[in-house]
Amino acid sequence: MALRRETRCACRTQARDEIERRALREGHATPDSPDTRPAPRWALAVALGLGAISIGLYAALGTPAALVPAHAGPDAAMPARAGGDPMAERLAGLIQHLQAHPDDAAGWVTLAHTYATLGEFAGGAATWARIGDRAPQDPDVLAEWADLLATAADGDFSGEPDRLIGQLLALAPDVVVVATGGVPQNPPLDAGSDLVTSSWDIMAGSAKPAETVLLYDDNGGHQGMGAAELIANAGSRLELVSPERFFAPEMGGMNHVPYMRAFHEKGVTVTINTRLLAVRREGNRLVATLGSDFAEGWRAERRVDQVVGEHGTLPLDDLYLALKPLSRNGGAIDYERLVKGGDIFPQRNPDGSFLVLRIGDAVASRNIHAAIYDGMRFGIRI
């Protein structure tokens, strides 16, 4: 996953545009009815004409993650939010459509996308099971289906996921490019990781900013700053804590200005050179323990209603790891030859029938520019 949050407005616009593109692509948009396709966290692109299957799972930002209750079944209604949120209304419309047209396989595929987007992998797996043999038999659907089922099974590809991968590889691809992205991860803490709210949940709207918030950002990019700006604009009393010499070092100087303006206008406290060590519950509040990389033994505490963490992403690499032993190159890249020239794919498995590589956040937590450069560098060498 290589998409990054700059502002909530931009994220929701991007999500809306993706909904419209999917509706047009699948032929379900009509002038008289609103599109009901959700913004997917995973978007799969298949380039069979070039002899390569390019599998991309990208995070669609601004997804209203609170729309589907946890553990809801595939028939559960998806109510619209108060205030006429068009995203919520479209998703609710999809559920209503499926209740009226249960044989619409493409609609169920879209609902499975939605469950995956919301992290409800068990619900997504149940939806795929309902689709069964009616699912479209094309590579992107097969790949996503296998990955979702394996994720629901804690990364286990045995059984149905393995069968689906077999169907995918029966198409005889020359190259498989895995761009499965990543999922948010909390910063490493001595205790209380389960008490930390992800910045993704704040941006998606599945977690509302509390009255007093401490946001710990040791990723240093737009993700943490976008969440901080959203929290401040919600009227919360916010302290932004960073272990760096200045906040958001991965962000350019020109972008520093509008964020700092917003922080000054909203009374945000910025604390640098400080690391979050632990979080504990005390009554109905949280106590954040802070430490220093420079003064061993120095400690401070903050009592707040909510602790938000931004620590980048953890690669979604289950599909890549499942394909590695089946590939000719074992998933390896010769980076010296990538720079100097020559065949960049070492031949490690003579019985392999395809090459496999991964790009973007499927490798490590980076940014959209890294994913673009990965795609360009590998694309011209395939």
Q: What is the mean pLDDT of the chain?
A: 76
Question: How many residues make up the chain in this entry?
Answer: 382
- Residue 304: closest CA among 230, 241, 218, 221: 241
Residue 148 has pLDDT above 60, yes or no: yes
CA distance 193 to 186: 7
CA distance 332 to 347: 9
Encode pLDDT of 153-195 as tens digits.
Answer: 777 778 888 888 888 788 788 998 888 788 889 999 999 999 9
Instruction: Please report the pLDDT score of residue 88 as a whole number.
Output: 59
The CATH 3.50.50.60 portion of the chain extends over 186-311
Q: Which two tokens stand for residue 189?
A: 């803490």
Residue 55 has pLDDT above 50, yes or no: no
Residue 233 has pLDDT above 70, yes or no: yes
Distances (CA, A) of 337 to 224, 341, 345, 363: 36, 5, 9, 19
Average pLDDT over residues 138-159: 75
Residue 352 CB-density burial (10 A; 0-12 exposed, 13-18 middle, 19+ buried): middle
Can you state the percent helix, strand and coil of the chain, rounding each to 5? 40, 20, 40
Average pLDDT over residues 227-244: 96
Of 144-158, 245-259, 268-282, the least confident: 144-158
The residue that leads in pLDDT, 261 or 73, is 261
CA distance 77 to 199: 27
Fold observed for domain 186-311: FAD/NAD(P)-binding domain (3.50.50)
Residue 66 has pLDDT above 80, yes or no: no
